[in-house]
Amino acid sequence: MYVIAVYDVDQKRCGKMLKLCRSYLHHIQNSVFEGEITEARLEELKIRAKKIMNEEDEDSLIIFKSRNEKWLDKEIVGTEKRPVDNVL
Amino acid sequence: MYVIAVYDVDQKRCGKMLKLCRSYLHHIQNSVFEGEITEARLEELKIRAKKIMNEEDEDSLIIFKSRNEKWLDKEIVGTEKRPVDNVL
């Protein structure tokens, strides 16, 4: 499955979330990630993200899922920051 | 067409970008927007965004387009900040 993930967490937890998301998906913008992932790996990512996030601080992670990447077109206006950033 | 738009701009320009994007789409997270939009309105949004953005500062706006919202599932982990925020 193809997913887009975007987090919005307090600055204190940004580094941890960045590192976590990069270990599952491609980093395409500040707090935006995309890539192919299995259902099981996505569950794992969500569980690990919940451990980092603080819901009282309104931290959130939005995941858009598509069964097929072809159903989505991506367009970048402005600077493409990380064109060749790969999953670590 | 259904789109997801995410901007990453210098703090100085965040307010303007927020206001612009909110006038075209639903605001669902810090710098994330979604909604139905026509091709013409999306072009207008992109032109107006380019006027606000500074490419030398690596400002960017990523747009994911899908012909059909049903092709995408959205899941929110953590706090849903703006469940009833509508287009102004």
Name the least confident of A37-46, A63-72, B26-35: A63-72
What domains sit in chain B, N to C, each tagged with a CATH number?
A: 2-69 (3.30.70.240)
ipTM of the complex: 0.80
The pLDDT value given to residue B80: 73
Q: Is B85 annotated as a binding residue?
A: no
pLDDT reported for residue A30: 87
Q: CB distance B50–A76 less than 8 Å?
A: no
pLDDT at A87: 46
B51 close contact with A: CB closer than 8 A: no
Query: In the prediction, which pLDDT does A53 show?
Result: 94
Partner residues linked to B64 by β-bridges: A74, B4
**What would the pLDDT profile of B17-67 be if each residue is shown by its tens digit?**
999 999 999 999 889 999 999 999 999 999 999 999 997 888 999 999 998
% of chain A residues with pLDDT over 70: 91
- pLDDT, residue B87, reads 46
Asked whether the beta carbons of residue B77 and residue A71 sit closer than 8 angstroms, the reply is no
Q: Are B81 and A58 in contact (CB under 8 A)?
A: yes
- Tell me the C-alpha distance between B51 and B32, whole Å: 19
- Per-residue exposure over B23-50, b if at least 16 CB sit within 10 Å of its own CB, e if not: ebbbbbbbbbbbbebeeebbeebbebbe
